[in-house]
């Protein structure tokens, strides 16, 4: 079809109208790529699918694809051997699958009246419901893994909590013993390691590794020698987590 025909049919305006109803970036991209169909049979099938979708929604189906992200990047990453996804990305894929299965259920419930749509969604395996449910139960809404995701994760997090408390207590005891050298009795974190604020002119009183200084230079943030092993172990546990 030539440009004059597109202009006469106001195809761009029609495409813009359809695009305004798209709920996702994927849908908008598909609309942008739309061109008139050449084959009559293909056109009739597309029109039938549209009509069936309208009728299914009129009967009360409430699936929605709003706020779903394009899974293309995540899926491409999964094709790389040994690659993994962040929990929040997995959760986004779960939501996409949940909405797809919601649409499938509504369409298959009315498959006699919606044969074209039923043919489209029939390839979605019903097992996807149980798979997504199991995955969703292991990831919190903010994207963190639930402690109950696995016994090993629960054990590691318990060890992390215990070790953090042990390191903090050791540093607090050290600050009380070295009160004259400490700027404030406050355990803080530098470079992901627990440190204490030591007066710069008292650095020699507490042996350890300096992880930086205050803007004035009056305070050094020191990791005492006695907690280096604990901090190292904590780092290892976090990496394992």
Mean pLDDT in runs of 10 for the chain (241 residues)?
78 90 90 88 92 88 84 92 89 92 91 93 92 91 86 92 95 90 87 92 87 90 94 93 84
Residue spans of the domains in the chain: they are 37-146, 151-240
Instruction: List, in sequence order, every beta strand (DSSP E) within 101-155.
Output: none
Residues 6+ apart with CB under 8 A from 198: 181, 182, 183, 205, 206, 219, 220, 221, 222
Q: Rounded to whole angstroms, how far apart are CA atoms 135 and 142? A: 14
- Taking a C-beta distance cutoff of 8 angstroms, is the pair 224, 208 a contact? yes
- Domain 151-240: which topology? MutS, DNA mismatch repair protein; Chain A, domain 3 (1.10.1420)
Rounded to 5°, angle at Cα 10 from 9 and 16: 135
pLDDT tens figures, 45-67: 999 999 999 998 888 887 888 87
The residues facing 219 across adjacent strands are 199
pTM, 2 dp: 0.65
Q: Rounded to whole angstroms, how far apart are CA atoms 219 and 63? A: 58
Mean pLDDT of the chain: 90
> What is the per-residue pLDDT for 1?
62
Report the length, in residues, of the chain: 241
Structure tokens that stand for 108 in this block = 């298959």
- Taking a C-beta distance cutoff of 8 angstroms, is the pair 222, 211 a contact? yes
> What is the per-residue pLDDT for 29?
92
Residue 93: phi and psi, rounded to 5, are: -65, -35
Rounded to 5°, angle at Cα 62 from 59 and 63: 130
């Amino acid at each position: 079809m030539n440009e004059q025909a597109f202009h006469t049919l106001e195809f761009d305006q029609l495409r813009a109208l359809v695009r305004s109803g798209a709920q996702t970036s994927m849908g908008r991209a598909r609309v942008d790529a739309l061109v008139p169909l050449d084959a009559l049979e293909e056109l009739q099938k597309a029109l039938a699918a549209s009509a069936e979708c309208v009728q299914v929604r009129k009967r009360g189906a409430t699936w929605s694809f709003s706020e779903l992200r394009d899974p293309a990047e995540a899926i491409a990453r999964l094709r790389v051997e040994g690659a993994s996804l962040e929990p929040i990305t997995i959760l986004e894929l779960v939501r996409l699958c949940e909405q797809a299965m919601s649409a499938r259920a509504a369409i298959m419930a009315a498959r006699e009246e919606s044969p074209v749509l039923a043919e489209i969604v029939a390839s979605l395996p019903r097992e996807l419901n149980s798979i997504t449910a199991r995955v969703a139960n292991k990831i919190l809404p903010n994207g963190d893994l639930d402690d109950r995701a696995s016994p090993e994760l629960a054990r590691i997090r318990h060890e992390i909590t215990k070790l953090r408390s042990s390191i903090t207590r050791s540093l607090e005891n050290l600050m009380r013993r070295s009160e004259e050298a400490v700027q404030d009795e406050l355990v803080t974190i530098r470079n992901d390691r627990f440190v204490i604020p030591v007066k710069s002119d008292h650095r020699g009183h507490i042996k350890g590794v300096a992880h930086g200084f205050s803007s004035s230079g009056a305070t050094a943030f020191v990791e005492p020698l006695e907690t280096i092993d604990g901090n190292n172990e904590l780092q290892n546990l976090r990496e394992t987590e």
